[in-house]
Structure 1
Amino acid sequence: MALGILDQLGLAATLIFAIPVAAYGLQQAAGGSLVVGAAFLVVAALMVYLPQRLTTPGDVPGKAAEKALDTALGSENGRGDGEDGSNRDESGNGAAASDDDAADEA
């Protein structure tokens, strides 16, 4: 998963808060409170993981704009012309035969 600049800044801000929580969890686990330490480690991991996976209301306009841009510019990653990445014409048939194929058939 490639992160853009804003995503990287968001991840850095999340890590600023998650690293101390994880460090506290490690200290608690090393001090004998395994359950409390493990709970804090899980919280720290979720602080990093969930914002990357969940769609928030603030993400919806950006995702809609990205989808509209992909639709306007054609298929994603230059894979064919169809929405599913296939190279089909309007009738649903495969791509037309090339000149070399047409010459071989004649």
Structure 2
Amino acid sequence: MAGGILDTIGLLTVVVFAVPVALFGAEHLLRGEFVAGVGFLGIAAGMVAVERYLVTPTDVPAMAAEKTVGAVAKTDDPDEDE
């Protein structure tokens, strides 16, 4: 799924917040606290997964516009498929 610049910025923002949580989880794992470490790593992975794969109400108009433009702007140029 191709994303635009706003999608990339949104994902980068979530990663900025998820990295400290993941490092905190890794620190717990290194100290031998398995449950807490895995829990925090799961939270960090969940933050990124929710941002990447969850469709929010604000995403619906953009998705509809992409499909509409894709349907209207079809070309029959055989060289474009390559």
| TM-score between the two structures when normalised by the length of structure 1 | 0.66
| Map of 1:72 onto structure 2 | 72
Once superposed, what is the RMSD of the aligned Cα atoms?
1.6
Deviations 1:44-81 (Å, cap 9, x if unpaired)? 01111221111111100000111111111127xx56xx
Q: Within 2, Cα distance between the matches of 1:63 and 1:39? A: 33
Higher relative contact order (CA 8 A, sep 6+): 2
1:29 counterpart = 2:29: yes
Q: Within 2, Cα distance between the matches of 1:62 and 1:2? A: 13
Count matched residues. 77
Identity across aligned pairs (percent)?
Answer: 43
Q: List gaps (5 residues or longer) in structure 1.
A: 80-106
Q: Please tell me whether Structure 1 or Structure 2 has the larger radius of gyration of its CA atoms.
A: 1
1:25, distance to aligned residue in structure 2 (A):
0.3
Question: 2:72 corresponds to which letter in structure 1?
Answer: A
1:17 counterpart = 2:22: no
Residues 15 and 29 (structure 1 numbering): CA distance in 2 closer, same or farther, change over 3 Å? same
> 1:23-102, aligned counterparts within 5 Å?
23-74=23-74
Q: Within 2, Cα distance between the matches of 1:50 and 1:61? A: 19
Provide runs of 4+ in structure 1 moved above 4 Å: none
Q: Within 2, Cα distance between the matches of 1:40 and 1:32? A: 14
Q: List gaps (5 residues or longer) in structure 2.
A: none
| TM-score between the two structures when normalised by the length of structure 2 | 0.84
Relative to total residues, which structure has the larger helix share, 1 or 2? 2
Question: 1:74 corresponds to which letter in structure 2?
Answer: K
1:3, distance to aligned residue in structure 2 (A):
3.2
